[in-house]
Amino acid sequence: MYGTAWKEERTEALTLLALQAGFRGIDTANQRKHYFEAGVGAALKQAWQSGAVSRSELFLQSKFTFIGGQDHRLPYDGARDIGQQVVQSFESSLEHLGTDYLDSYVLHGPSSRHGLVAADWQAWRAMEALACAGKVHFLGISNVSLLQLQALAAEAKIKPMFVQNRCYAKTGWDRAVRAFCTEQGIVYQGFSLLTANRAELAGAVAQRIALRTGRPIAQVVFRFCQRIGILPLTGTSRVEHMRLDLAAAEFELSAGDVSALENLSRD
C-alpha cells in the first residue's frame, strides 16, 4: 500500500507516480497537519481521466483524526459532537478523493493512550453507521495498543478489519498486536518499517541476509513482512524504489531468514 503522509506539495505528483508504478492501494487521512488529502484526489482524478486506472481497481483508505491530532485546519466543525465530526470529516474525504465510497475508513488512533473512552466509542459508532449505510466497506484503527484493540474487538458492532501501527523490530514487529490480529482475522498494516528500524536494519544480521539474497534491504524487509502477515506501507518518493517495493514478492526468504529478522535486535 502506498502511504501519502508527510509529502505536502509533492503529494499529487508522488501519488500519480505511485499509481503509474503499479500501486493500487492508497492510504491517506483527512488530517492536514500530516497529509494533503486533496492532493491525493487530484492525482486520482488525473489517473481516472487518462484511463490509467479505474475506481474499481483501487483500494482507497482514509482516516478520522480527533482534534488533538489536528492543527488549525480542521476538516470538521470542532464545536460539533464527535459523531457529527466523523460524518463531516468523512464527507470531506469523499469530496477530496472524488469518490462516493471508501474501501476502508480508519480511526486515526484512540483519543487517549490508555483504554477506550466515551469519545472513542462515539467516533466508532459513527463509523459503524457509515459502514451500515454502505459508504465504506471496512473499518480499521491505527496507533492502537493491544489492550485497546482487545476492548474494541469485544464491544464493537462492526469489528475492525484493519490495524495500522508503526512497527518496531525491537518489539518483535509489534508481535502481541499481530498475534491478536491473526486470531481475530484482522489485517495488520505496518508503517515506518524502515525509518523506525534504521539501527536494526544496519546491523550484521539484516545486512547479511540482504547480501546473500542480492536484494536491497528495503525489499528484504517488505518480503519479510509479507511472510509474517504484515501488509507493508511504503511512502518512498523515488520511482525505482516504488518498483522494487512492489517486486518484493518475487523472491523468497528462507525460514531461517524470517526467524532471524523477526527476532532482530541491535547488534
Determine contact, residues 198/237, Cβ cutoff 8 Å.
no
The Cα angle at residue 87 between residues 109 and 71, in degrees rounded to 5:
50
Instruction: Enter the DSSP assignment of 186.
Output: P
Sequence ranges of the domains in the chain: 2-166, 197-267
The pLDDT profile of the chain, 267 residues, written as one tens digit per residue, is: 999 999 999 999 999 999 999 999 999 999 999 999 999 999 999 999 999 999 999 999 999 999 999 999 999 999 999 999 999 999 999 999 999 999 999 999 999 999 999 999 999 999 999 999 999 999 999 999 999 999 999 999 999 999 999 999 999 999 999 999 999 999 999 999 999 999 999 999 999 999 999 999 999 999 999 999 999 999 999 999 999 999 999 999 999 999 999 998 754
User: What is the number of alpha carbons within 13 Å of residue 181 lying toward its C-beta?
Assistant: 27
What is residue 228's predicted lDDT score, i.e. its pLDDT?
Answer: 97
For residues 76-85, one letter each, b for 16 or more C-beta atoms within 10 angstroms of the residue's C-beta and e for the rest, the string is beeeeebeeb
Determine contact, residues 162/104, Cβ cutoff 8 Å.
yes
CATH of segment(s) 2-166: 3.20.20.100
- Tell me how far CA of residue 211 lies from CA of 88, 121, 215, in angstroms: 50, 48, 7
What is residue 6's predicted lDDT score, i.e. its pLDDT?
Answer: 97
Measured from the Cβ of residue 35, the count of other Cβ atoms closer than 10 Å reads: 25
Instruction: Enter the DSSP assignment of 194.
Output: T
What is residue 238's predicted lDDT score, i.e. its pLDDT?
Answer: 97
What is residue 77's predicted lDDT score, i.e. its pLDDT?
Answer: 98
